[in-house]
Amino acid sequence: MDNDSSYIIRDWVTSLREGNRNAFNHIFKEYNQRLYYFSLGYLKSDKDAEEIVQETFLKLWERRSFLNPELSFHAYLFKIAFNFIQKRLFKKVKDEELKNDLAEELINFDDHTSNLLNYHFLLEHINLLIVKLPPRQKQILELRKLEGFTSTEISEMLNLSVKTVEAHLTAALKFLKERLQSEKFDDLLLFALVFRKK
């Protein structure tokens, strides 16, 4: 970035610190594409990259009063974006681990099943079944099994008793197990093995 551009950015940052929306718009136009491709390089998802850009500029606006025009604005902005990227990558890993735990809880694996199972197909099938749950059961199951909250934490978040939360969770798990059993999972495995992408 040349000196003239540095001075312009510094002026925009100074104005933004004072709540100037025009300065914010100038900064958005200057950086949004760069932040998008920066995020895309890590997340490999257009939707996720766009959301990181939105989250970054929202955080920038919320913390505008703390901006220091004398420091590198470029480094500051990309550090915000990178923090959001790290959180999202960590959440994806955690979500996958929790889904794996849920799959293991719902299916009784033996040696035969372990050798044949298209595991990703099972996870996708569980996701489709979760969508069919009643809204409250779906919400509690996702909070407990996919987000990792305890029953006590969920009860506080939803203003329900712990017993009610656990009853919804039990009902949701019962529904998923019964559906998987009723669909004769051996047939489901055969379908997965025959029709999976080569």
Domain boundaries, the chain: 3-91, 107-195
Residue scoring higher pLDDT (22 or 41): 22
* Whole-number pLDDT of residue 156: 85
Tell me whether the CATH fold assigned to 3-91 matches the one assigned to 107-195: no
Which of the four pLDDT bands, split at 50, 70 and 90, describes residue 61?
Answer: very high
Transcribe 19-87 into DSSP letters.
Answer: T-HHHHHHHHHHHHHHHHHHHHHHH--HHHHHHHHHHHHHHHHHTGGG--TTS-HHHHHHHHHHHHHHH
Q: Which of 29-38, 102-111, 180-189 has the highest mean pLDDT?
A: 29-38
Domain 107-195 in CATH 1.10.10.10:
yes
Query: Is the pLDDT at 1 greater than 60, yes or no?
Result: no
Residue scoring higher pLDDT (173 or 58): 58
The number of C-alpha atoms within 13 Å of 22 and in the hemisphere containing its C-beta is: 2
Predicted confidence (pLDDT) per residue in 121-177, tens digit: 566 667 778 888 899 998 898 888 767 778 888 888 888 899 999 999 999 888 887
Least confident of 26-40, 156-170, 180-194: 180-194
Query: Is the pLDDT at 11 greater than 90, yes or no?
Result: yes
* Whole-number pLDDT of residue 67: 93
Residue 113 makes CB contacts below 8 A (sequence gap 6+) with 107, 189
Q: Which CATH architecture has domain 3-91?
A: Orthogonal Bundle (1.10)
* Whole-number pLDDT of residue 105: 59
Least confident of 1-5, 48-52, 106-110: 106-110
**Rounded mean pLDDT, 112-123:** 50
Q: Specify the pTM.
A: 0.50
In 71-103, which positions are buried (b, 16+ CB within 10 angstroms) versus exposed (e)? eebeeebbebbbebbeebeeeeeeeeebbeebb
Query: Is the pLDDT at 187 greater than 60, yes or no?
Result: no
**Rounded mean pLDDT, 21-49:** 91
